[in-house]
Chains A and B, each alone.
Chain A
Amino acid sequence: MSDTPILQVENLSKFFPVQRGLLRRTVGHVKAVNDVSFAVNKGECLGLVGESGCGKTTVARCLLRLVEPDQGRILLHGEQQTFDIASASRKEMLDVRRQMQIIFQDPFSSLDPRWRVTDVIAEPLMAQKVGRGEAGRRVLDILPTVGLGPHFADRFPHELSGGERQRVSIARALIVSPPLVVADEPVSALDVSVRSQIINLLLDLQSQMNLTYVFIAHDLSIVKHISHRIAVMYLGRLVELGTTQQVFEECKHPYTKALLASVLIPDPTHREQSYVLEGEVPSPLNPPSGCHFSTRCPFAQEQCSAEEPDLRDMGGGHWVRCHFAEELDLSEEIFAPQFDKPAASN
């Protein structure tokens, strides 16, 4: 891991128009991603977390230009040159995609059912105009790297289990040896016993191939396990960014605290969970004024609904978007117990 950034996202925004009526008039915009900036350093894993609708998947798709960003720059520092993905030409995108690939969430819908595994994995090479024979050889080379035998090459996706399919997706992403991989919820669709295999594989590959990950997930314990740094999103905005230690142990944003407190601990003797967040994520079509979290925040004051806080540096690379980040004491358990103790077995 180094401090040299491989990817710099600056003021990225993506607004989806909402159209109504017969004439499809645009009646508003969903601000899916709103002025998001962060950097990813070479060899690190940046975790991106938040609830559904917070914009984390849209960020991932913007990074690869699978959706067109509306504003901002996405700088990819390649081996020879730096690309601005947001404004790159089709030809430049071909180079970009050799440096950056994505693993999708659902291995049941991200593999074409009519393609054999070998064709699925070779597709990025075809796009890069690599010859068929060479591509076939490289597929056979990469299969053992992701823990699949050579006999998998001729199978169809329906013959594979969820874990095997996700290994195929990983192989497809790694076949062009990209230094940067975006993983969008790569384990949420998998069974518990298979999930740890895939996490182990991702960790192994990272150290073997010196990969950089942008790891998107809603399961915080997994994000904590795999990430060096974590970015928390709420309603299209980045609300906290810092090292895993800073975000998990010294979080300064009440939303991060609420997210962490809702993680269920797999220990029946620890049931005094606290701080359950009331209410739901507001509609991104009409986000609350001022701080977007002010409607659910237990510490909200007048200032919070009046003006939107900036993302401020708290020192040591710890960024927080809250007016009262310095004053709030989030270390204590603030709310009433969530569950009682388990009944003693009789």
Chain B
Amino acid sequence: MPNSQPILEVHDLHVHFKMLAGIVRAVDGVDFTVERGRCLGIVGESGCGKSVTARSILRLLPSSDTSGQILYHPDGDGQPIDLVSLDAKGDAIRAIRGKDIAMIFQEPMTSLTPVYTIGEQIMESIRQHQNLTEEEAQELAISMLNKVGIPDAERRFGDYPHQMSGGMRQRVMIAIALCCEPRVLIADEPTTALDVTIQAQILRLIRSLQQDLDMSVIMITHDLAVIAQLADFVVVMYLGQMAEKAPVVELFQDPKHPYTQALLRSIVRPDTPPREQLHSISGSVPDPRNAPSGCRFRNRCPSVHDRCVEDPPVVEFGPQHSATCWLYVDD
């Protein structure tokens, strides 16, 4: 493999929010590596901490208690930068945010401002990071709109977000994210709000841009089918903790954590016999404020036993495959 150096390394990331009701451990010990030119998928249900993890990379969180390391390796022989140590409002992170690491948010309806044209919003990002004249920036913005597949880009340049459909707005978000040719693209549920045919278009677009620009992608989703189609490597999260991480084929063919196994069994596949009962996980995701101690999945786990009240160990199943579970530890 030509691209196996890491571009982003997350070590032992903890993000805690102090609330009136107590401390919410939104992310509690997450480790992963994003390789150059590859796609890392983070999958989990609501409240699992996948979006918080993504936002903490760009330091987009309001007052929170973040610890651990997020190492960004810039191109060339530069020293890695620990993003956690940067001032969230300082120049150092602002130079990286949008330039080296860009993000697409879930809701294309709410993440564009309604009072500026989409052209102005793309140019804002370009002129923040690149020393271009207005005309050059406009030219670049139009070429980005073309690249993300917006027909008649010169005319649409002057449109306001409300004049566009959801799929078009998501393309504009992608154009804003990609206009500075970022090394890493973080996509937080980029297709959840979209129809299936538009979802297929957007995913195909992200995939082809990833290859053209040799970009790394962090794809955050609750949809295992999106993961199966796009990711090279997967992190499964549950209530702030990492349940399992593995290369994508290994994860789907040989899941180790009971949560991953249950999730994979519960989805409808093309060969699922019609109208038969589906496997399901009992109960629902608990409120993160009163998550169980020890293994957080234990009150829903089919293989729960006495030891699960203690924090489970990380068990390795190969160089890249590990699960956080007591099941594979001998007494």
A interface vs B, CB < 8 Å?
51-52, 161-164, 191-197, 199-200, 203-204, 218, 220-222, 224-226, 244, 258-259, 261-271, 273, 276-278, 280-281, 338-340, 342-343, 345-346
Taking CB atoms, residues of chain A closer than 8 Å to B228 are: 264-268, 270-271
Q: A218-B196, A263-B196, A339-B204 are in contact. Are A268 and B252 (CB under 8 A)?
A: yes
Whether the Cβ atoms of B197 and A194 lie closer than 8 Å is no
Q: What are the residues of chain B within 8 A of A340 when measuring CB–CB?
A: 207, 211
Closest chain B residue to A279, Cβ basis: B151
Q: Please list the 8 inter-chain residue pairs (A to B) with the smallest Cβ-Cβ separation, ordered nearest first.
A: A345-B247, A264-B225, A262-B200, A196-B278, A196-B280, A51-B195, A196-B266, A193-B281
B268 lies within 8 A of A222 (CB):
yes
Task: Report whether B225 and A200 are in contact in the complex, using a CB–CB cutoff of 8 Å.
Answer: no
Q: Which of B64-72, B120-128, B137-145, B269-277 contacts A (4 or more CB under 8 A)?
A: B269-277
CB distance from B282 to the nearest CB of A (A): 8
Q: Given A200-B278, A339-B204, are A192 and B263 also a contact pair (CB < 8 Å)? A: yes
Q: Is the CB of A268 within 8 A of B262?
A: no
Bound-state CA distance A226–B273 (Å) is 10
* A225 contacts across to B, CB distance below 8 A: 268, 272, 274-275, 278
**A264 contacts which of B223, B232, B252 (Cβ < 8 Å)?**
B223
Distance, CA A38 to CA B230, complexed state (A): 39
User: Are A343 and B224 within 8 A (Cβ)?
Assistant: no
Are A196 and B270 within 8 A (Cβ)? Answer: no
Complex formed: what's the CA distance from A221 to B108 in Å? 25
Alpha-carbon distance between A9 and B264 when the two chains are bound, in angstroms? 39
Quote the shortest CB–CB distance from B297 to chain A (angstroms).
10
Q: In whole angstroms, how far apart are the Cα atoms of A278 and B151 in the complex?
A: 11
With both chains docked as a complex, state the minimum distance between the C-beta of A163 and any C-beta of chain B, in angstroms. Answer: 5
Chain A residue numbers with a CB within 8 Å of B281 are 193-194, 196-197
Nearest chain B CB to A339's CB is how many angstroms away? Answer: 6
Contact assessment for B320 and A345 in the assembled complex, using a CB-CB cutoff below 8 Å: yes
Contact, CB under 8 Å: A280 / B1: no
B270 lies within 8 A of A265 (CB): yes
Contact yes or no, A262 B199, CB < 8 A: yes
Interface size class of B (residues with CB under 8 A): 35 or more
Docked Cα-Cα span, A161 to B46, in Å, equals: 11
Contacts of A162 in B (CB 8 A): 284
Is the pair A200, B280 in contact by a Cβ cutoff of 8 Å?
yes
Complex Cα spacing A269 to B229, Å: 8
In contact, A266 and B197 (Cβ under 8 angstroms) = no
Assess the B196–A220 pair: CB atoms within 8 A: yes
Most buried by B among A204, A218, A266: A266
Q: Is the pair B197, A259 in contact by a Cβ cutoff of 8 Å?
A: yes
Complex: chain B residue closest to A283, CB-CB: B165
| B110 beta carbon closer than 8 Å to chain A | no
In the assembled complex, the CB of B135 is this many whole angstroms from the nearest CB of chain A, namely 31
Contact B196 A262, beta carbon cutoff 8 Å: yes
B225 contacts A343, C-beta separation under 8 Å:
no
Q: Tell me the complex Cα distance, A59–B201, Å.
A: 28
A139 CA to B211 CA in the complex, in Å?
57
Residues in B whose Cβ lies below 8 Å from that of A259 = 196-197
A266 to B221, CA, bound (A): 13
Main secondary structure of the interface of A (DSSP, over half): loop
A224 touches B201 (CB 8 A): no
- Quick one: which of A192, A244, A267, A278 contacts B266, CB cutoff 8 A? A192
A51–B196 CA distance with the chains assembled, in angstroms: 7
Chain B contacts for A221, CB-based, 8 A: 267-270, 272
Q: Inside 8 A of A264's CB, which chain B residues have their CB? A: 199-200, 203, 223, 225-226, 228-229
Contact A191 B45 (CB under 8 A): yes
B304 within 8 A of A: no
Inter-chain CA distance A268–B225, complex, in Å, is 8
Which residues from chain B contact A193 at a C-beta distance below 8 Å?
A: 45, 262-263, 266, 280-281, 284-285, 300
Alpha-carbon distance between A288 and B114 when the two chains are bound, in angstroms: 29
Interface flags for B222-247 (1: CB within 8 Å of A; 0: not) read 11111111111100000000000001
- Chain B residues with Cβ under 8 A from A271's Cβ? 228-229
Q: Is the CB of A244 within 8 A of B200?
A: no
* Set of chain A residues within 8 Å of B262, measured between Cβ atoms: 193
Pick the contact of A343: B1, B251, B264, B270 (CB < 8 A): B1
A/B interface sample: 7 pairs, CB < 8 A: A52-B166, A194-B280, A196-B279, A276-B201, A277-B197, A277-B200, A345-B233
Contact of A280 among B198, B200, B232 (CB under 8 A): B198
- Tell me whether B249 and A161 are in contact (CB under 8 A): no
Q: Contact check, B248 vs A268: say whether CB atoms are below 8 A apart.
A: yes
Is the CB–CB distance between A51 and B224 below 8 Å?
no
Partner of A276, one of B4, B165, B200, B230: B200
Q: What is the CB-to-nearest-CB distance from A269 to chain B, in angstroms, rounded to a whole number?
A: 6
Residues of B within 8 A of A268 (CB): 227-229, 231, 248-249, 251-252
Q: Known contacts A220-B196, A225-B268, A259-B196; is A346 also within 8 Å of B280 by CB?
A: no
User: Which interface residue of B233, B251, B281 has the most chain A CB atoms within 10 A?
Assistant: B281
Interchain CB contact under 8 A, B249 and A345: yes
Query: Closest residue to B274 on the A side, CB-wise?
Result: A225
- Residues of A near B248 (CB, < 8 A) are 268, 342
Contact code string B148-168 (vs A, CB < 8 Å = 1, else 0): 000000000000000001111
17 more A-B contacts (CB under 8 A) besides A192-B45, A194-B284, A263-B225? A51-B196, A191-B222, A193-B280, A195-B266, A218-B195, A222-B268, A225-B278, A259-B196, A264-B223, A265-B225, A268-B227, A269-B249, A276-B197, A339-B207, A339-B229, A340-B207, A342-B232
What separation, in Å, do the CA atoms of A261 and B167 have in the docked complex? 18
**A224 engages B268 (CB within 8 Å):** yes
A200 to B277, CA, bound (A): 5
B274 touches A280 (CB 8 A): no
Please determine whether A265 and B45 come into contact, CB atoms closer than 8 angstroms.
no
Given the interface pairs A221-B269, A266-B252, A345-B320, the reply to whether A244 lies near B274 with Cβ below 8 Å is yes
Which residues from B are CB-within-8-Å of A226? Answer: 274-275
* In the bound complex, CA of A258 to CA of B199 (Å): 12
How far does the Cβ of A117 sit from chain B's closest Cβ, in whole Å? 16
Of chain A, the residue at the smallest CB distance from B229 is A264
| Residues from chain A with Cβ under 8 Å of B14 in the complex | none
Most A C-beta atoms less than 10 A away, residue of B165, B168, B204, B228? B228
